[in-house]
Structure 1
Amino acid sequence: MSPYAPYWEACRRGELVIQTCTACAHRIHLPAADCPRCGSTALTWASVLGHGTVHTFTVVHRSFVASHRGREPYTLAWVDLPEGVRVFGSVVGCAPEDVRIGLPVTLTFEDDLPVWRPA
């Protein structure tokens, strides 16, 4: 089984999970096979509440991802969660020009992928 399988299984259930390293307590997103801080492979999974604030973002006007071509412009953001981890994802449900640093967002899923909507 892939070390990333629990992440994708949770997404299919409409749940976002993050990893925590049991050796150094570092929280990890996007999923990894080992801790980027200490290298341990002792990682656990935990659900997050599903709300946060935009830390930073970019608006994509020309996608290098074939499946996203024709959807431009779209917004990608790093979102700070109250659980103490920063997660990556798309911001949907608003125009790119309405996204700002500090914008409160809430989790939803589209095609089993976690995305963020303005709260």
Structure 2
Amino acid sequence: MTTSIAYGPARVLPGEQIHISTNPDTEPFWEAAKERRLTACQCASCGQFRMPPSAYCPNCSSKERNWPTLPGTGQVFSYAICNKNPANGEDYVYVPVVVELDQAGGVRLVGNLTGCNAEDMHIGMRVEVEWTDICDGWVLPNFRVTDPA
């Protein structure tokens, strides 16, 4: 006998609990996010994307970088279904996802997912970026399902 668990709709974690700290390698990503623009570090010499951003390209060792604007779409590479039951008794489900970003040479980004019931999740699901305001004026990229089929 197989038991099915109904999780309900996925949602993002409350933004007031998330704090961002930057360094010279990551700051362009977070500044673009404040503008609700998704970007990734790309080597200006060989064109290879890299996330997380780093001072040197792992392919050619160049220090030169571009930060192109990406379309903000991708597909789910991996995910987990998590239940949250805080002390106040509020139950909810959140789904951290690893998304392979379109037009970014295989770069993957982690975020939370909304727009579907957690039990309907599957690898390859199409998603688009959805912006979540968090502490100190920062904005976090999360993802929303665009095609639940």
What is the alpha-carbon root mean square deviation over aligned residues? 2.4
CA distance in 1, matches of 2:140, 2:53: 14
- Does residue 16 (structure 1) correspond to residue 38 (structure 2)? The answer is yes
Q: Which residue of 1 aligns with 2:100?
A: 80
CA distance 1:30–1:96, shift in 2 (3 Å): farther
Check whether the contact 2:72–2:102 (CA below 8 A) recurs between aligned residues. Answer: no
Check whether the contact 2:128–2:145 (CA below 8 A) recurs between aligned residues. Answer: yes
Alpha-carbon offset, residue 6 of structure 1: 1.2
- The answer to which of 28-37 and 70-79 deviates more is 70-79
Alpha-carbon offset, residue 11 of structure 1: 0.4
TM-score (norm: length of structure 2): 0.63
Bigger Rg, which one: 2
Q: How does 1:2-41 map to 2 (within 5 A)?
A: 2-41=24-63
Aligned-partner residue type, residue 28 of structure 1? R
Identity of matched residues, %:
29
Aligned-partner residue type, residue 145 of structure 2? P
CA distance in 1, matches of 2:67, 2:42: 6
- Structure with higher RCO (Cα < 8 A, 6+ apart): 2
TM-score (norm: length of structure 1): 0.77
Answer 1 or 2: which has greater strand percent. 1
